[in-house]
Structure 1
Amino acid sequence: MTVSSAHPARTDPIDALLSAHGLRRTVAARLVLGWFLAHADTSYTHAQLLSALQGAEPDKGVTLDRVTLYRLIDRLTQVGLLLCRVDANRVRRYQAMPESVKAMPHFECQTCHRDSPLAGALQGNALDLEAAAEGALQALKALGYQDVSLDLAVRGVCADCASAAAGSA
Protein backbone atom coordinates (compact mmCIF):
# COMPACT_ATOMS: atom_id res chain seq x y z
CA MET A 1 0.00 0.00 0.00
CA THR A 2 1.42 3.35 -1.04
CA VAL A 3 0.75 6.39 1.11
CA SER A 4 0.57 9.58 -0.88
CA SER A 5 1.07 12.93 0.68
CA ALA A 6 -1.85 15.31 0.54
CA HIS A 7 0.64 18.16 0.33
CA PRO A 8 3.27 17.88 -2.40
CA ALA A 9 6.79 18.87 -1.49
CA ARG A 10 7.16 22.62 -1.72
CA THR A 11 10.20 24.20 -3.23
CA ASP A 12 11.95 26.70 -1.02
CA PRO A 13 11.67 30.12 -2.75
CA ILE A 14 15.32 30.88 -2.05
CA ASP A 15 16.39 27.56 -3.60
CA ALA A 16 14.14 28.29 -6.56
CA LEU A 17 15.74 31.72 -7.08
CA LEU A 18 19.26 30.32 -6.84
CA SER A 19 18.46 27.51 -9.29
CA ALA A 20 16.66 29.81 -11.72
CA HIS A 21 19.78 31.99 -11.88
CA GLY A 22 22.17 29.07 -12.33
CA LEU A 23 23.67 29.22 -8.85
CA ARG A 24 24.45 26.37 -6.47
CA ARG A 25 22.06 26.01 -3.55
CA THR A 26 24.67 25.93 -0.80
CA VAL A 27 23.93 26.67 2.82
CA ALA A 28 25.99 29.86 2.54
CA ALA A 29 24.19 31.01 -0.62
CA ARG A 30 20.80 30.37 1.00
CA LEU A 31 21.87 32.26 4.12
CA VAL A 32 23.14 35.32 2.23
CA LEU A 33 20.25 35.56 -0.23
CA GLY A 34 17.76 34.89 2.56
CA TRP A 35 19.27 37.71 4.61
CA PHE A 36 19.00 40.18 1.74
CA LEU A 37 15.41 39.16 0.98
CA ALA A 38 14.46 39.48 4.65
CA HIS A 39 16.03 42.96 4.78
CA ALA A 40 15.08 44.15 1.30
CA ASP A 41 14.87 47.84 2.24
CA THR A 42 18.41 47.95 3.64
CA SER A 43 21.71 48.18 1.84
CA TYR A 44 24.86 46.73 3.37
CA THR A 45 28.55 47.18 2.87
CA HIS A 46 30.59 43.99 2.77
CA ALA A 47 31.78 44.57 6.34
CA GLN A 48 28.27 45.33 7.64
CA LEU A 49 26.91 42.19 6.01
CA LEU A 50 29.72 40.01 7.37
CA SER A 51 29.10 41.37 10.86
CA ALA A 52 25.33 40.83 10.58
CA LEU A 53 25.71 37.27 9.30
CA GLN A 54 28.27 36.09 11.84
CA GLY A 55 26.33 33.85 14.14
CA ALA A 56 23.06 34.37 12.25
CA GLU A 57 22.58 30.61 11.68
CA PRO A 58 24.81 28.78 14.17
CA ASP A 59 22.62 25.67 14.08
CA LYS A 60 23.25 25.18 10.36
CA GLY A 61 27.00 25.03 10.82
CA VAL A 62 27.78 27.72 8.26
CA THR A 63 30.80 29.93 8.74
CA LEU A 64 31.44 32.72 6.30
CA ASP A 65 34.83 34.29 5.90
CA ARG A 66 35.15 37.62 4.14
CA VAL A 67 36.47 36.13 0.88
CA THR A 68 33.65 33.58 0.60
CA LEU A 69 31.11 36.29 1.32
CA TYR A 70 32.67 38.62 -1.24
CA ARG A 71 32.53 35.91 -3.92
CA LEU A 72 28.93 35.07 -3.05
CA ILE A 73 27.67 38.64 -3.20
CA ASP A 74 29.61 39.13 -6.44
CA ARG A 75 27.84 36.12 -8.01
CA LEU A 76 24.44 37.25 -6.70
CA THR A 77 25.08 40.70 -8.18
CA GLN A 78 26.19 39.30 -11.55
CA VAL A 79 22.94 37.36 -11.98
CA GLY A 80 20.79 40.34 -10.95
CA LEU A 81 19.60 39.18 -7.53
CA LEU A 82 21.50 41.98 -5.78
CA LEU A 83 22.05 45.58 -6.67
CA CYS A 84 25.55 46.94 -6.09
CA ARG A 85 25.93 50.68 -5.67
CA VAL A 86 29.10 52.63 -5.17
CA ASP A 87 28.53 55.67 -2.96
CA ALA A 88 30.31 59.02 -3.10
CA ASN A 89 33.14 57.62 -0.92
CA ARG A 90 33.58 54.69 -3.34
CA VAL A 91 32.15 52.22 -0.82
CA ARG A 92 30.16 49.37 -2.35
CA ARG A 93 26.70 48.76 -0.92
CA TYR A 94 24.54 45.76 -1.73
CA GLN A 95 20.77 45.40 -1.61
CA ALA A 96 18.17 42.88 -2.77
CA MET A 97 17.03 43.68 -6.30
CA PRO A 98 13.37 42.81 -6.92
CA GLU A 99 12.89 41.59 -10.48
CA SER A 100 10.00 43.98 -11.13
CA VAL A 101 11.94 47.09 -10.11
CA LYS A 102 13.52 49.23 -12.84
CA ALA A 103 15.00 51.89 -10.55
CA MET A 104 15.89 51.84 -6.86
CA PRO A 105 16.00 55.44 -5.67
CA HIS A 106 17.96 56.04 -2.50
CA PHE A 107 19.40 58.91 -0.48
CA GLU A 108 23.03 58.98 0.64
CA CYS A 109 23.77 61.32 3.54
CA GLN A 110 27.11 63.05 3.06
CA THR A 111 27.48 63.53 6.82
CA CYS A 112 26.54 60.23 8.49
CA HIS A 113 26.83 58.10 5.29
CA ARG A 114 23.50 56.41 5.99
CA ASP A 115 21.89 55.01 2.85
CA SER A 116 18.07 55.23 2.89
CA PRO A 117 15.57 53.95 0.32
CA LEU A 118 13.36 56.66 -1.17
CA ALA A 119 10.63 54.49 -2.66
CA GLY A 120 8.20 55.43 0.11
CA ALA A 121 9.10 59.11 0.00
CA LEU A 122 8.64 59.24 -3.78
CA GLN A 123 5.43 57.20 -3.88
CA GLY A 124 3.48 59.94 -5.59
CA ASN A 125 6.03 59.99 -8.41
CA ALA A 126 6.74 56.24 -8.50
CA LEU A 127 5.00 55.67 -11.84
CA ASP A 128 6.85 58.57 -13.47
CA LEU A 129 10.15 57.26 -12.10
CA GLU A 130 9.42 53.72 -13.32
CA ALA A 131 8.45 55.01 -16.78
CA ALA A 132 11.61 57.12 -17.05
CA ALA A 133 13.77 54.21 -15.89
CA GLU A 134 12.11 51.82 -18.36
CA GLY A 135 12.59 54.32 -21.19
CA ALA A 136 16.29 54.76 -20.38
CA LEU A 137 16.85 51.00 -20.10
CA GLN A 138 15.07 50.33 -23.41
CA ALA A 139 17.14 53.03 -25.15
CA LEU A 140 20.36 51.46 -23.86
CA LYS A 141 19.24 47.98 -24.92
CA ALA A 142 18.42 49.33 -28.40
CA LEU A 143 22.02 50.57 -28.58
CA GLY A 144 23.27 47.05 -27.81
CA TYR A 145 23.93 47.35 -24.10
CA GLN A 146 23.11 44.21 -22.12
CA ASP A 147 22.25 43.41 -18.50
CA VAL A 148 21.62 47.06 -17.69
CA SER A 149 20.12 48.39 -14.49
CA LEU A 150 19.51 51.88 -13.22
CA ASP A 151 20.62 53.35 -9.91
CA LEU A 152 19.14 56.66 -8.81
CA ALA A 153 21.24 58.17 -6.02
CA VAL A 154 20.31 61.43 -4.36
CA ARG A 155 23.10 62.86 -2.22
CA GLY A 156 22.92 65.53 0.44
CA VAL A 157 22.47 65.88 4.19
CA CYS A 158 19.68 63.87 5.87
CA ALA A 159 17.10 65.53 8.10
CA ASP A 160 18.69 64.10 11.29
CA CYS A 161 22.14 65.49 10.47
CA ALA A 162 20.68 68.82 9.33
CA SER A 163 18.77 69.13 12.63
CA ALA A 164 21.89 68.25 14.63
CA ALA A 165 23.94 70.83 12.74
CA ALA A 166 21.27 73.50 13.25
CA GLY A 167 21.05 72.66 16.96
CA SER A 168 24.81 73.00 17.47
CA ALA A 169 25.04 76.31 15.58
Structure 2
Amino acid sequence: MPSPSDPIDTLLSAHGLRRTNAARRVLGWLLAHPDTSYTHAQLQAALAGEGDTTDSAVLDRVTLYRLIDRLTQVGLLLCRVDASRVRRYQAMPVGVHAMPHFECQSCHRDSPLATALQASTDDLERAAETALEALKALGYQGMSLDFAVRGVCADCATGKSNHHGQGAAA
Protein backbone atom coordinates (compact mmCIF):
# COMPACT_ATOMS: atom_id res chain seq x y z
CA MET A 1 0.00 0.00 0.00
CA PRO A 2 1.35 3.47 -0.87
CA SER A 3 2.56 5.72 1.92
CA PRO A 4 0.20 8.30 3.44
CA SER A 5 2.27 11.01 1.73
CA ASP A 6 1.47 9.60 -1.74
CA PRO A 7 0.02 12.56 -3.73
CA ILE A 8 -2.70 10.44 -5.33
CA ASP A 9 -3.76 9.06 -1.95
CA THR A 10 -3.76 12.61 -0.59
CA LEU A 11 -6.00 13.81 -3.43
CA LEU A 12 -8.40 10.91 -3.04
CA SER A 13 -8.64 11.38 0.73
CA ALA A 14 -9.05 15.15 0.45
CA HIS A 15 -12.05 14.59 -1.83
CA GLY A 16 -13.65 11.98 0.42
CA LEU A 17 -12.87 9.02 -1.82
CA ARG A 18 -11.55 5.61 -0.84
CA ARG A 19 -7.92 4.95 -1.76
CA THR A 20 -8.51 1.77 -3.75
CA ASN A 21 -6.09 0.29 -6.26
CA ALA A 22 -8.58 1.08 -9.03
CA ALA A 23 -8.91 4.72 -7.96
CA ARG A 24 -5.12 5.07 -7.75
CA ARG A 25 -4.64 3.57 -11.20
CA VAL A 26 -7.28 5.68 -12.93
CA LEU A 27 -6.37 8.98 -11.29
CA GLY A 28 -2.65 8.23 -11.62
CA TRP A 29 -2.99 7.52 -15.33
CA LEU A 30 -4.99 10.68 -16.03
CA LEU A 31 -2.64 12.85 -13.95
CA ALA A 32 0.32 11.37 -15.85
CA HIS A 33 -1.36 12.38 -19.15
CA PRO A 34 -2.78 15.83 -18.30
CA ASP A 35 -3.09 17.10 -21.88
CA THR A 36 -5.05 14.10 -23.13
CA SER A 37 -8.75 13.41 -22.85
CA TYR A 38 -10.03 9.85 -23.03
CA THR A 39 -13.33 8.20 -23.76
CA HIS A 40 -14.31 5.46 -21.35
CA ALA A 41 -13.24 2.81 -23.87
CA GLN A 42 -9.90 4.53 -24.56
CA LEU A 43 -9.17 4.80 -20.85
CA GLN A 44 -10.10 1.16 -20.27
CA ALA A 45 -7.79 0.08 -23.12
CA ALA A 46 -4.94 2.28 -21.87
CA LEU A 47 -5.21 0.87 -18.35
CA ALA A 48 -5.45 -2.70 -19.64
CA GLY A 49 -2.20 -2.12 -21.55
CA GLU A 50 -0.35 -1.01 -18.41
CA GLY A 51 0.88 -4.48 -17.66
CA ASP A 52 -0.37 -5.35 -14.16
CA THR A 53 -3.10 -7.90 -14.86
CA THR A 54 -3.96 -8.45 -11.18
CA ASP A 55 -6.21 -5.37 -11.21
CA SER A 56 -7.95 -6.25 -14.50
CA ALA A 57 -11.00 -7.69 -12.70
CA VAL A 58 -11.24 -4.54 -10.57
CA LEU A 59 -11.36 -2.32 -13.65
CA ASP A 60 -14.22 -3.95 -15.51
CA ARG A 61 -16.39 -1.66 -17.62
CA VAL A 62 -18.99 -0.91 -14.92
CA THR A 63 -16.43 -0.35 -12.17
CA LEU A 64 -14.55 2.08 -14.40
CA TYR A 65 -17.78 3.96 -15.25
CA ARG A 66 -18.62 4.33 -11.55
CA LEU A 67 -15.11 5.40 -10.63
CA ILE A 68 -14.94 7.98 -13.43
CA ASP A 69 -18.31 9.31 -12.30
CA ARG A 70 -17.15 9.68 -8.67
CA LEU A 71 -13.87 11.35 -9.70
CA THR A 72 -15.82 13.76 -11.91
CA GLN A 73 -18.38 14.56 -9.19
CA VAL A 74 -15.68 15.61 -6.73
CA GLY A 75 -13.87 17.73 -9.34
CA LEU A 76 -10.77 15.61 -9.92
CA LEU A 77 -11.76 14.91 -13.53
CA LEU A 78 -13.23 17.12 -16.20
CA CYS A 79 -15.92 15.52 -18.34
CA ARG A 80 -16.55 17.00 -21.77
CA VAL A 81 -19.22 15.95 -24.20
CA ASP A 82 -18.13 16.49 -27.79
CA ALA A 83 -20.33 17.38 -30.75
CA SER A 84 -20.97 13.65 -31.36
CA ARG A 85 -22.20 13.36 -27.75
CA VAL A 86 -19.18 11.27 -26.75
CA ARG A 87 -17.93 11.84 -23.21
CA ARG A 88 -14.22 12.49 -22.76
CA TYR A 89 -12.42 12.62 -19.42
CA GLN A 90 -9.30 14.48 -18.41
CA ALA A 91 -7.52 15.26 -15.14
CA MET A 92 -8.66 18.61 -13.73
CA PRO A 93 -5.66 20.59 -12.48
CA VAL A 94 -6.07 21.98 -8.97
CA GLY A 95 -7.12 25.63 -8.99
CA VAL A 96 -8.05 25.69 -12.68
CA HIS A 97 -11.51 27.01 -13.49
CA ALA A 98 -11.42 26.94 -17.30
CA MET A 99 -9.66 24.48 -19.58
CA PRO A 100 -9.82 25.80 -23.12
CA HIS A 101 -9.68 23.19 -25.86
CA PHE A 102 -10.36 22.76 -29.57
CA GLU A 103 -12.45 19.90 -30.91
CA CYS A 104 -12.12 19.06 -34.59
CA GLN A 105 -15.51 18.39 -36.18
CA SER A 106 -13.85 16.15 -38.76
CA CYS A 107 -11.41 13.87 -36.89
CA HIS A 108 -12.78 14.54 -33.36
CA ARG A 109 -9.29 15.14 -32.00
CA ASP A 110 -9.44 17.18 -28.82
CA SER A 111 -6.50 19.57 -28.43
CA PRO A 112 -5.70 21.74 -25.41
CA LEU A 113 -5.48 25.46 -26.18
CA ALA A 114 -3.71 26.67 -23.04
CA THR A 115 -0.44 27.18 -24.91
CA ALA A 116 -2.07 28.74 -27.97
CA LEU A 117 -4.06 31.14 -25.77
CA GLN A 118 -1.19 31.87 -23.35
CA ALA A 119 -1.62 35.64 -23.67
CA SER A 120 -5.34 35.35 -22.82
CA THR A 121 -5.03 32.80 -19.99
CA ASP A 122 -5.44 35.37 -17.21
CA ASP A 123 -8.50 36.89 -18.90
CA LEU A 124 -10.08 33.45 -19.37
CA GLU A 125 -9.39 32.51 -15.75
CA ARG A 126 -10.93 35.77 -14.46
CA ALA A 127 -14.00 35.30 -16.67
CA ALA A 128 -14.39 31.71 -15.47
CA GLU A 129 -14.06 32.75 -11.81
CA THR A 130 -16.65 35.52 -12.28
CA ALA A 131 -19.12 33.15 -13.95
CA LEU A 132 -18.66 30.48 -11.29
CA GLU A 133 -18.99 33.00 -8.44
CA ALA A 134 -22.22 34.35 -9.94
CA LEU A 135 -23.67 30.85 -10.24
CA LYS A 136 -22.53 29.95 -6.72
CA ALA A 137 -24.36 33.03 -5.40
CA LEU A 138 -27.50 31.61 -7.03
CA GLY A 139 -27.03 28.31 -5.16
CA TYR A 140 -25.33 26.19 -7.81
CA GLN A 141 -22.64 23.83 -6.49
CA GLY A 142 -19.82 21.56 -7.70
CA MET A 143 -19.21 23.44 -10.93
CA SER A 144 -16.47 23.54 -13.51
CA LEU A 145 -16.32 25.45 -16.75
CA ASP A 146 -15.66 23.93 -20.16
CA PHE A 147 -14.36 26.37 -22.74
CA ALA A 148 -14.68 24.59 -26.10
CA VAL A 149 -13.94 25.86 -29.57
CA ARG A 150 -15.24 23.62 -32.33
CA GLY A 151 -14.25 23.67 -35.98
CA VAL A 152 -11.87 21.89 -38.36
CA CYS A 153 -8.25 21.43 -37.31
CA ALA A 154 -5.37 22.52 -39.51
CA ASP A 155 -4.50 18.91 -40.43
CA CYS A 156 -8.03 18.15 -41.66
CA ALA A 157 -8.33 21.52 -43.40
CA THR A 158 -5.15 20.85 -45.39
CA GLY A 159 -5.99 17.20 -46.04
CA LYS A 160 -3.29 15.70 -43.82
CA SER A 161 -4.53 12.38 -42.45
CA ASN A 162 -1.74 11.35 -40.09
CA HIS A 163 -3.98 11.44 -37.02
CA HIS A 164 -7.37 10.27 -38.25
CA GLY A 165 -8.90 7.54 -36.16
CA GLN A 166 -7.08 8.50 -32.96
CA GLY A 167 -10.06 10.25 -31.36
CA ALA A 168 -8.19 11.27 -28.19
CA ALA A 169 -6.41 14.50 -27.68
CA ALA A 170 -2.83 14.74 -28.70
TM-score by length of structure 2 reads 0.88
1:31-67 CA-to-partner distances (Å, cap 9, x unmatched) read: 00000000011100001101111031416x2112111
Distance in 1 separating the partners of 2:52 and 2:144: 35
Matched to 1:35, the amino acid is W
Name the larger-Rg structure: 1
Structure 1 counterpart of 2:14:
20
Structure 1 counterpart of 2:145:
150
One of 74, 77, 94 as aligned partner of 1:79: 74
One of 31, 47, 55 as aligned partner of 1:62: 55
Consecutive unaligned residues of structure 1, counting only runs of 5 or more, are 1-8
Distance in 2 separating the partners of 1:163 and 1:71: 40
Matched to 1:62, the amino acid is D
Relative contact order (alpha carbons < 8 A, sep ≥ 6): 1 or 2 greater? 2
One of 18, 34, 46 as aligned partner of 1:52: 46
Distance in 1 separating the partners of 2:7 and 2:49: 23
Consecutive unaligned residues of structure 2, counting only runs of 5 or more, are 161-170
One of 27, 30, 44 as aligned partner of 1:36: 30
Give SS of 1:85's match. Answer: strand
TM-score by length of structure 1 reads 0.89
Where does structure 1 differ by over 6 angstroms across 4 or more consecutive aligned residues?
none
The two structures, once aligned, show a CA RMSD in angstroms of 1.3
Distance in 1 separating the partners of 2:136 and 2:77: 20
Distance in 1 separating the partners of 2:18 and 2:143: 24
Give SS of 1:108's match. Answer: strand
Q: Does structure 1 retain, via aligned residues, the 8 Å contact 2:21–2:55?
A: yes
Distance in 1 separating the partners of 2:51 and 2:144: 32
- How many residues are aligned here? 156
How far is the alpha carbon of 1:10 from its aligned partner? 5.9
Matched to 1:46, the amino acid is H
Give SS of 1:164's match. Answer: coil
